[in-house]
Amino acid sequence: MATLDYIDIPSAAIRLSSYEPKQIRIAPKILTSLPNPSIVSHGLPSPHTGSGNPISPTKTGMNFQQMLLSSALPVPAGTSSPRSKGTSAPKLLSTKDPLSLSITTANFKQFVTKSGPVFWLQDRVEEIITWKCGWKYTSVWIAVYAFLCYFPRLVFVLPFVILASIILATDPSLKHPGPINESGDDESTLPPPPLQPSEGSVDWLANLQGIQNLMGLVGETHDMILPLVPHLNHTSPYTSLIFTATLVSLLCLLPLVNLLPLRATFLISGLTSFALTHPISQEHILPALALTMEPYSKHTRARLARFIDDDRLEDKHWRAEMKEVELWENERWSPPSTDPDGYALNLGWNKSNLKPGERRAWTRGRDGVTAVAEDGSGDVSNLTFSLAPGWTFVETEDWRPDLEGTWISNIGADKCGWVYTNDSWQYPRSAPLDEWKSSSGMTRRRRWVRRIYYHPM
């Protein structure tokens, strides 16, 4: 037995020893899945992920894309913040980051990858409003809207209802019905969260298609609103009339605000919107209504334009004798064709399609013989129109198209004032016939008028 030199052991002491074998406890084996880098990127977004490796393929591809974008879209120097009005101006969302191709590339790739839920929600709303899923599906939402109109205070509980609906809709038991496994086996583990669509996949291309169509919608909406802007910024003679009508309507509506039943008003407005988007309304009712109201609409537009022109006349015009002079605009339709290289040419309506020896583009007579210019070209705003001695044009107005087609009885014109005829300028119609398009061709003409007054020098 070993001795201990640094202590004194009593002689009567008995040393105890263990005869049990030594036991080694084996560590339990724990199985786990590999880490998912996308979860880290979801929780802690970092724009510089992977930048630590200078030779990584991702960074090389990104630099190559930036080089291509830089060559295609050069950014001038000194335009890092085009919207910034000064150093003291507060940072807004549109000026948070400076203009940079690298940031633009990264944000666009991120937007394409993560914009799927936005377009999914857009498609679902469009399906409900336009009755694409059937009348039963849309009728349920109409009933929900009517219920909210009758109990408007329930709007405050909508966020909680929406959150509960999302949780119930994503319940795995609804997608995989069956007995609930409570044993804790691997089969009861929840599936991992869905990964972001990879570049070039079907979902990624679907998001890119949605972005493309959304950009087109923004451009079309801008082009649709742009003609109305001059009437609101005092660059059109209609501005004062619109302001007066708006002010009168506001003063008349103020006493009636308390008398309007809000529940019935919102209910009727919402149900009317659903009724207008119904396929029957879109295919039959609205076109028939537009066709019925078109003559009245053109008459109202013509009377309104003449009222504004009369309001701008000066005293010398009212005291003098006034008449109307007219011009005729002539065009011919050419069917689509191809050039010698095989490219499609969609000529359509154009003055250059007029045949040699027939009507000129601009004529002073209905017969189309007397041309305004030698070659018949030009625009109505800069034509040379000679008048008799002592007569002059009214300075406060310009040429106006005859929208009603008053020069031809029982026929009328389209919404722009055009009257359509066949290839030989006969059989006038307010709309072109299909057989004219398939035959040798068709023509059209439009009447322009302007007032003159007698003012001897």
Strand ranges (E), 67-156: none
Taking 80 as the threshold, does the pLDDT of residue 331 lie above it?
A: yes
pLDDT of residue 446: 93
Give mean pLDDT, residues 220-237: 89
CA proximity to 432, closest of 423, 97, 47: 423
Q: Which residue, 219, 250, 277, sits at the end of a domain?
A: 277
| Cβ atoms 73, 97 nearer than 8 A | no
Q: If you average pLDDT over every residue of the chain, what do you get? A: 79
**CB proximity list for 109: less than 8 A, separation 6 or greater:** 199
For the chain, percent of residues with pLDDT exceeding 70: 71
SS3 415: coil
Note whether residue 188 is domain-resident.
Answer: no
**Total residue count of the chain as it appears in this document:** 457
Last residue of a domain, one of 277, 308, 328: 277
Q: Using the 8-state DSSP alphabet, how is residue 80 labeled?
A: S
CA distance 251 to 42: 54
pLDDT at 55 over 70: no
Residue 34, pLDDT above cutoff 60: no
Residue 376 pLDDT: 44
Q: Is the pLDDT of residue 454 over 80?
A: yes
Confidence tier at 160 by pLDDT (50, 70, 90): very high
Could you tell me if residue 420 is inside a domain? yes
pLDDT digits (tens, 9 = 90+) for 61-94: 455 555 555 555 555 555 556 666 656 667 788 8
> Residue 224 domain-assigned?
yes
The pLDDT score that the predictor gives to residue 343 is 63
- pLDDT of 316 above 80: yes
Q: Would the pLDDT of 439 be above 90? A: no
For residues 149 and 267, state if they share a domain: yes
Mean of pLDDT values over 95-102: 85
**pLDDT score, position 370:** 59
How far apart are alpha carbons 442 and 418 in whole angstroms? Answer: 13
Please check whether residues 303 and 225 belong to one and the same domain: no
Same domain, 315 and 383: yes
Residue 146 in this model has a pLDDT that exceeds 90: yes
Highest mean pLDDT among 263-277, 289-303, 382-396, 435-449: 263-277
Check whether residue 269 and residue 409 sit in a common domain. Answer: no
Most confident of 42-56, 169-183, 211-225, 300-314: 211-225
Residues 417 and 364 in one domain: yes
Q: Are 202 and 116 in contact (CB under 8 A)?
A: no
Strands 337-338 and 348-350, bridge-based pairing:
unpaired
pTM score: 0.61
Written as six digits, the tokens of 83 are 């919207």
Q: Looking at residue 4, what is its pLDDT?
A: 57
**Are 114 and 225 in the same domain?**
yes
> What domain count does the chain have?
2
Domain of 206, in residue numbers? 100-154+197-277
